[in-house]
Amino acid sequence: MSQPVMLITGASRGIGAATAILAARQGYRVVINYRSQAQAAAAVLAEVQAAGQDGCCIQADVAEEEQVLQLFAELDRRYGRLDVLVNNAGILETQMPLLEMSLARWQRVMAANVYGTFLCSREAIKRMALSRGGQGGAIVNVSSLAARLGAPGEYIDYAAAKGAVDTMTVGLAKECAAERIRVNGVRPGFIYTDIHASGGEPGRVDRVKTAVPMQRGGQPEEVAEAILWLASAKASYTSGSFIEVAGGR
Ligand code: NAD
């Protein structure tokens, strides 16, 4: 049997990049989706290949339906199968109270986090579903602890978007169970990645750290471990579930 194929959205850096590299080490062929950072995506692919695995980079904005269709068409041409989808792409904008948020910002945050997860899940399920000639599979959605905390005064838009992702996770797990597709989520807490460069506030990292029982932020690799477990056959009876990777918060 040929090696399984994992598609990771937004995988040119951060948690997505760490997931791509760990996936290669665990025997997956890896499709690295990126929106604009072609060079960074190529560097992740080089690490996948250094782990002895095949992989490729495919550009697409996952919030745009036409681009998602092209991404999956390219995946079909290249591998003709999909075993795991990791809906990782997401954005966070500058922190502010809800009263100051514009509709345009709300739409951007929903598009990247929610539309992307919807569109990629729909296309993946078409290929994985037993009733459509697929072999089953797994979807792992990268949500956030913010979905549970609400992020008051900071990012209620982002928390609401991740809440929608969580609800989609629970619903899809039930809708797709008979198709032998498992759907789960991870909820990272504060993880050291570039996402915080866009939503930054002086001293935020230290303020957030004191709210974490382990008194530290997490590394992308620590989230990747949870994603890989949920994707694997070790999680064969786990669906509609969430792992919080948040230092005990
Ligand atoms: P990151 O900014 O380093 O990575 C996010 C990636 O998604 C980027 O490469 C970005 O270009 C890509 N992306 C964004 N919108 C896209 C789109 N429309 N189409 C394609 N790609 C797109 O940040 P990260 O921390 O690695 O974030 C990964 C995921 O983890 C996100 O969903 C984020 O919300 C979630 N998360 C992160 C943290 C944290 O503290 N870092 C905490 C909770 C959840």
- Does 190 contact ligand 1 (Cβ within 6 A)? yes
Is 158 a known active-site residue?
yes
For residue 131, report the distance from its CA to the centre of ligand 1, in Å. 32
The CA distance from 59 to 40, in Å, is 12
pLDDT in the model for residue 227: 99
- Does 63 contact ligand 1 (Cβ within 6 A)? yes
- 209-229 average pLDDT score: 95
List residues bridging with 191 in a β-sheet. Answer: 218
pLDDT at 200 over 60: no
Strands 137-142 and 29-34: unpaired
- Does 158 contact ligand 1 (Cβ within 6 A)? no
Q: Which H or E run includes 120?
A: helix 116-128
For residue 10, report the distance from its CA to the centre of ligand 1, in Å. 6
Among candidate residues 226, 128, 220, the one with its CA nearest the CA of residue 180? 128
List residues bridging with 32 in a β-sheet. Answer: 8, 57
Q: Which H or E run includes 80?
A: none
Q: Which amino acid is at 189?
A: G
Q: Could you report the predicted ipTM of this complex, rounded to two decimals?
A: 0.99
Structure tokens at 149: 């905390």
> If pLDDT is split at 50, 70 and 90, which confidence band does 198 have?
low
For residue 13, report the distance from its CA to the centre of ligand 1, in Å. 8
Chain segment 71-82, per-residue pLDDT in tens = 999 999 999 999
- 221-230 average pLDDT score: 99
User: Pick the catalytic residue: 34, 79, 115, 158?
Assistant: 158
- Does 35 contact ligand 1 (Cβ within 6 A)? yes
Report yes or no on whether pTM surpasses 0.95. yes
pLDDT in the model for residue 158: 98
CA distances from 115 to 47, 62, 110, 165, 188 (A): 29, 8, 7, 9, 20
Among candidate residues 114, 109, 116, the one with its CA nearest the CA of residue 95? 109
Report the nearest atom of ligand 1 relative to the CA of 64.
Answer: 18
Torsion of CA 209, 211, 217, 221, to 10 degrees: -170
Q: What share of the chain has pLDDT > 90, as a percent?
A: 92
Q: Which residues have CB under 8 Å from 94's CB, separation 6+?
A: 198, 199, 200
The CA distance from 207 to 179, in Å, is 44
- 184-188 average pLDDT score: 98
Structure tokens at 198: 């866009």
Q: What is the best residue among 67, 91, 249 to mutate for testing ligand 1's pocket, by most ligand atoms within 8 Å of CB?
A: 91
Structure tokens at 173: 């797990």
For residue 178, report the distance from its CA to the centre of ligand 1, in Å. 30
> If pLDDT is split at 50, 70 and 90, which confidence band does 1 have?
low
Residue found under tokens 């100051």: 100
For residue 156, report the distance from its CA to the centre of ligand 1, in Å. 17
Structure tokens at 141: 């959605």
